[in-house]
Chain A
């Protein structure tokens, strides 16, 4: 047995194949998400219905007739598809944010909510729901995501300012501790507010558990710009995340502007995370575990982890959303529950097989 067989390396696999394969999986999962649902047309008619609606080619050119009624099509186009797309965006962003945070803080137990994006967003949503009620007023837009977004960003900004003023940005430890303090503070305020308004506890609780059920194309349009900017910046910094793995001092000596890279990555990841928290609530597990799944499969280099976090995170959440809406139909299982239910056993199996093969 040669030396290399004794010490297999995951990253020896070709990153390009991993990325290509994960894109194929993403397309397959998205197609399944559009085809499966409690109401609507029979699943195999959905692709036909899509083809039929391709201009000049479908119904007119090839004469495809899917037999899907307009009402059924509306279920596919207006309900399922935005939900699938939003699940993909949210899953991609959370796992991308998690991977970036883990890189920039050199800590594998970090999720994108570390610096208070979730706690701040939760408090913002709670305040809106308790004061004006979810649909009490005729606002031109739903105030819950807007306020949640602002609170999420604001909390992270305060965390960053506090951490930077005490510890400087050469070390990340103070920043993490500032995050712990801010999260406790926000959660305490939220609990206090909730206790005084126990009539809306259920509504707030639903928000906290996370949901994609009310997804519309408007939600997709709302988050897309933030997520696109965030993902673009993070993808461009994936090489820097690899250098940061050897620590701040060595990265500095290698010519990396550590404090600036950390700030840029945190701002980008927070912006995207806050946007998806605002529309989907707090979906746990994805941001923490999907990056580790990726590492266990394809190796730990951020040049591979960052793009794969996008595709696999998206696939994971789309997949997790399918049982959520079909199992106990018409009631819905909260998506955050499903992600943990599917993800935890899968992760344990993956962890175990990797240990054995090492």
Chain B
């Protein structure tokens, strides 16, 4: 169980400031959804936390800055799933999940029996045994996404960063993937930060939401607070209706302007 805190995080890509003074604390075991229009800086923010892009400000895990940690220790604290993960066609499922153990293996070392047992365990728990020896190129989008999540889980990192985890999936597999993450969060006490495209799904799974617009945080709070028709109209430039179902689920429905 670990919390993650962003302290005035800024990311520049070339001359453009893509993340502007982002500060936020995500408490241990909770799920923060990051929403915002394309180009709002969601991916850059996650990449900064994963140490993939240079940034100023600090990202802290349990109060200690990640930048001061050795890269393998950092990777063992924060696992990162990019929007379009690269899955080499001729790699097998278990070889791929084994990559999640990279930071636990010494520089010149090889995976130990322990690492193998860990990978086998993750594969079994996620019901992926039949994919372990198959080539990634022969798998469907939903199967691939589950393997990517398995790899993230194999790192044993307490914090999971997901960049658009469902963007390549159909509605059934979107739900399946997010349910898997939700279940794993409960079982392992993971802290999840995810950038999400689909506002309704973001609202269904996140505890809190952050709305980014042109690199700056323009709204944050509970799902009901952030997903309001006025806010979405202002920053997405769309007309939507926001319904609240009887079970509390917030549904965002796009509307079509008719003259």
Nearest chain-B residue to A2 (Cβ)? B130
Q: From the candidates A4, A236, A257, A300, name the one contacting B88 in the complex (CB within 8 A).
A: A300
Q: In the complex, are the beta carbons of A254 and B102 less than 8 A apart?
A: yes
Q: In the complex, are the beta carbons of A253 and B72 less than 8 A apart?
A: no
Chain A residues contacting B130 (CB-CB under 8 Å) are: 3-4
Q: In the complex, are the beta carbons of A7 and B135 less than 8 A apart?
A: yes
Q: In the complex, are the beta carbons of A236 and B75 less than 8 A apart?
A: no
Chain B residues contacting A242 (CB-CB under 8 Å) are: 95, 99
Q: In the complex, are the beta carbons of B85 and A253 less than 8 A apart?
A: no
Nearest chain-B residue to A235 (Cβ)? B108
B 81-110 to A, binary, CB cutoff 8 A, 1 in contact else 0:
010011110111001100110110100111
Q: In the complex, are the beta carbons of A255 and B75 less than 8 A apart?
A: yes
Q: Does B133 contact A (CB under 8 A)?
A: yes
Report the contact-size class of chain B (Cβ under 8 Å from the partner): 35 or more
The verdict on A253 contacting B75 (CB below 8 Å), with A11-B92, A246-B88 known, is yes
Q: Does B185 contact A (CB under 8 A)?
A: no
Q: From the candidates A239, A245, A250, name the one contacting B82 in the complex (CB within 8 A).
A: A250
Q: Does B117 contact A (CB under 8 A)?
A: no
Q: In the complex, are the beta carbons of A7 and B134 less than 8 A apart?
A: yes
Cα–Cα, bound, A257→B102 (Å): 11
Nearest chain-A residue to B98 (Cβ)? A242
Chain A residues contacting B90 (CB-CB under 8 Å) are: 10, 295, 299-300
Q: Does B71 contact A (CB under 8 A)?
A: yes
A 55-71 to B, binary, CB cutoff 8 A, 1 in contact else 0:
00000000000000000
Q: From the candidates B50, B78, B79, B86, name the one contacting A246 in the complex (CB within 8 A).
A: B86
Cα–Cα, bound, A9→B50 (Å): 33
Interface of A, secondary structure class, is: helix
Q: How far is the CB of A27 from chain B (nearest CB, A)?
A: 26
Q: Does A203 contact B (CB under 8 A)?
A: no
Chain B residues contacting A7 (CB-CB under 8 Å) are: 134-135, 138
Q: Does A142 contact B (CB under 8 A)?
A: no
Q: In the complex, are the beta carbons of B91 and A300 less than 8 A apart?
A: yes
**How many A-B contacts are there with CB distance less than 8 Å?**
79
Q: From the candidates B85, B95, B109, B134, name the one contacting A250 in the complex (CB within 8 A).
A: B85
Q: In the complex, are the beta carbons of A255 and B72 less than 8 A apart?
A: yes
Q: Does A249 contact B (CB under 8 A)?
A: yes
Q: In the complex, are the beta carbons of B105 and A245 less than 8 A apart?
A: no
Q: Does A340 contact B (CB under 8 A)?
A: no
Q: Does B31 contact A (CB under 8 A)?
A: no
Q: Does A243 contact B (CB under 8 A)?
A: yes
Chain A residues contacting B155 (CB-CB under 8 Å) are: 254
Q: Does A247 contact B (CB under 8 A)?
A: yes
A 15-50 to B, binary, CB cutoff 8 A, 1 in contact else 0:
000000000000000000000000000000000000
Q: Does A301 contact B (CB under 8 A)?
A: yes
Chain B residues contacting A300 (CB-CB under 8 Å) are: 88, 90-91
Cα–Cα, bound, A12→B78 (Å): 31
Chain A residues contacting B133 (CB-CB under 8 Å) are: 4, 9, 12
Q: In the complex, are the beta carbons of A239 and B105 less than 8 A apart?
A: yes
The verdict on A9 contacting B135 (CB below 8 Å), with A246-B99, A249-B47 known, is yes
Q: How far is the CB of B205 from chain A (nearest CB, A)?
A: 22
Q: Does A187 contact B (CB under 8 A)?
A: no
Q: How far is the CB of A29 from chain B (nearest CB, A)?
A: 27
Q: From the candidates A9, A252, A253, A256, name the one contacting B79 in the complex (CB within 8 A).
A: A253
20 CB contacts below 8 A, A to B, read: A3-B134, A4-B134, A7-B135, A7-B138, A12-B92, A236-B108, A239-B110, A243-B99, A243-B102, A249-B47, A249-B52, A250-B82, A250-B85, A250-B86, A255-B74, A255-B102, A256-B102, A257-B71, A300-B90, A300-B91
Which B residues fall within an 8 A CB radius of A? 47, 50-52, 71-72, 74-76, 78-80, 82, 85-88, 90-92, 95-96, 99-100, 102-103, 105, 108-110, 130, 133-135, 138, 155
A-B residue pairs, 9 tightest by C-beta: A255-B75, A255-B103, A255-B72, A253-B80, A300-B90, A254-B102, A247-B86, A253-B50, A245-B88
What would 10 more interface pairs be, CB under 8 Å, given A253-B50, A299-B90? A7-B134, A9-B135, A239-B105, A245-B91, A246-B96, A250-B80, A254-B155, A255-B103, A257-B71, A300-B91
